[in-house]
Amino acid sequence: MANPIQRIKSYYHEVVLEAKKCTWPNMQALREQTLMVIAAMFLLTGFILSVDKVLQFLIRQLVL
């Protein structure tokens, strides 16, 4: 079995190497993607709200 400290060092070294391979978006791409996420959030919120209201109406009609 390998030394635990050596295994931690090896793991950290591998993480650093993988992190260097990552590419990060520039500021314009980051803004565009953020706006897309916010727009999707509002669309999903509106969809869930409308489905909730329709189901609420249908359940009230069935119960009353």
Confirm whether 35 is domain-assigned.
yes
Confirm whether 58 is domain-assigned.
yes
Confirm whether 3 is domain-assigned.
no
Confirm whether 19 is domain-assigned.
no
Give the residue numbers spanning the domain of 31.
25-64
Number of folded domains in the chain? 1
DSSP per-residue string spanning the chain: ---HHHHHHHHHHHHHHHHHH-----HHHHHHHHHHHHHHHHHHHHHHHHHHHHHHHHHHHHH-
pLDDT band at 1 (very low <50, low <70, confident <90, very high): low
Residue 25's closest CA among 34, 17, 15, 16?
34
Can you say how many angstroms the Cα of residue 48 is from the centroid of all Cα atoms in its chain? 18
Tens of pLDDT, residue by residue over 48-57, are 999 999 999 9
pTM for this entry: 0.62
Tens of pLDDT, residue by residue over 16-47, are 999 999 998 999 999 999 999 999 999 999 99
Confirm whether 9 is domain-assigned.
no
Confirm whether 50 is domain-assigned.
yes
Q: Comparing 64 with 13, which gets the higher pLDDT?
A: 13
Structure confidence at residue 3 (pLDDT): 86
